[in-house]
Amino acid sequence: MEEHPRIARQRQYIERRADELLERVPFMDDAELRWTIRVLRDCLPPAEQQEMLRDYSEHLELNQMRQVVGSFILPYTEYALEALEAKRFTPGMSLRDLTNEELQSMSATEKWGLLAQDPATLHPYQLRGELARLFLCRNFDLFHDPGLGEAAVEFSVYLDLLERLARASNTAIEGLKDEALATLRGLDHRDVTQVEGVLTTLREAIGRSVGLFPPFDDLFSERMERWPRSAPAELEDVVNPEIRAAVAGMNLKQLQTSLRVLLELMSLEEQRREIEPLKARYHALDEIPEEALAALLPHLSMRLGDRTICDFALRYRSGRLWARERIDPQVWKLLTFQDKFMLLEADNEAMDLLQVSRHLARLLLTERYELLFDPAYQVGLIYEPLYHRVLDHCMGDLTDSGRFKSLNRQVTRMMLELEAVLADGERPARFLEIREVIGTGFKSGPIPSEG
């Protein structure tokens, strides 16, 4: 028996989607992450949902959610491919021949037509999903729309319905299915008035079965609001296992250095939130015991995501912004100079005084252009007294000066020109000019060239 032609296409689609999602996850915002989970979770049986997403909540912090979604893609893809493998030699003419992903991409009218031919073809959890989708068919167009399956997950009412229908007995679900099939029997699917009349009857029956009564329009709130609407009393503690393993192998000095690096990546507000509780227990960071540091660092790192100590310079080269979410480097390459500058200016506006000070101080004190991108060198600056004197100067003398923001804007444009316009060989000399501009702006005089 030969594999059905649709299988190869679907297999390629699933594999390609996994690659694209894994590439996109670090740049997804909250709504896109939640939508991705909703669409894929909707194709899983209840047991697999529970197993693969035990740590997931829509109320997780952004970087925690990225961690969970990134860890979910490959197990889900394996499941989807195995489900497809089980249907390799089916003719694809019946609902029982199709995977959940294939069902999701079909219109309600097509699925209920096939279900009428073989009413026993779907599992109870699949019937619950089809009833919930049928409820969302508010008009003729949605009943015929193959995109309804993916669109449905955007509405909390769909998720509410799935939850309520899950509490109904299988007997009750079978009764709703039979009622729907009887109501749809003989329907002219091209007659708008007839279809919408039947949909009204079915939606009322489905809603009534779970305690919902018309009018239903007020149930369709804003798209992609968090669900459930209230956060659980306790959220799972999501930590990157690779970071936890790396921290577990560090000695005390390495742990202390890692904490100082993380502090360099924080805004003033983040420092107040994360570090003030520590100050109440310890007089100095170096007094924090090894065990406490080992427990703290993975959580701090999770909060900060994939920020690096070189982002103050990489923002010009690849869009790794200093105070805002970084830009996909592939997108950054396609932007015009002016578009890049506008994004960098928005990043400047998002910076607090400490972030602006670090940005300028690191540019000022980095001795050579290539050292901007050397993590070891940038970590070393943390231990340089001059670096902290420059920061103190920025945080003190220049706090009330409009010249400080103007200087940051001027340096931003010069650094972007250096990365986006100049040839590689011209950059070291221009970088020295930028350092001189910063030094003059700090009223510390130009920096002499190195002999």
For 415-449, give the DSSP string: HHHHHHTS-GGGHHHHHHHHHHHHHHHTTS-PPPP
Last residue of a domain, which of 184, 219, 254? 219
Residue 398, pLDDT > 60, answer: no
Our count of domains for the chain comes to: 4
- Say whether both 315 and 300 belong to one domain: no
- Say whether both 286 and 322 belong to one domain: no
Give the pLDDT confidence score for residue 401 in this predicted structure. 58
Q: Nearest to residue 178, comparing CAs of 116, 108, 100, 94? A: 116
Residue 187, pLDDT > 70, answer: yes
Residue 150, pLDDT > 90, answer: yes
108-131 pLDDT tens trace: 999 999 999 999 999 999 999 999
- Say whether both 51 and 140 belong to one domain: no
The torsion defined by the Cα of 296, 300, 302 and 308, in degrees rounded to 10, comes to -130
First-last CA distance in the chain? 77
Is 17 among the domain residues? yes
Are 408 and 438 in contact by the 8 Å Cβ rule? The answer is no
Is 383 among the domain residues? yes
- Say whether both 437 and 325 belong to one domain: yes
20-41 pLDDT tens trace: 999 999 999 999 999 999 999 9
- Classify burial at 73, counting beta carbons within 10 Å of its beta carbon; exposed 0-12, middle 13-18, buried 19 or more: buried
Judged by DSSP in three states, 78 sits in helix
316-353 pLDDT tens trace: 999 999 999 999 999 999 999 999 999 999 999 999 99
In which band, very low, low, confident or very high, does the pLDDT at 1 lie, cut at 50, 70 and 90? confident
Question: What's the half-sphere exposure (Cβ side, CA atoms, 13 Å) at 210?
Answer: 24
Is 98 among the domain residues? no
Is 196 among the domain residues? yes
How far is 93 from 79, CA to CA, in rounded Å?
Answer: 22
Whole-model pTM?
0.91
pLDDT mean over 365-389: 97
CA distances in angstroms from 137 to 122, 155, 216, listed in the order given: 20, 12, 12
Is 142 among the domain residues? yes
- Say whether both 280 and 350 belong to one domain: no
Instruction: Read off the amino acid at residue 29.
Output: D
- Say whether both 174 and 138 belong to one domain: yes
- Say whether both 148 and 72 belong to one domain: no
- Say whether both 436 and 315 belong to one domain: yes
Domain limits for position 15? 5-85
Specify the DSSP class assigned to residue 240: -
* Assigned token pair, 323: 């105070």
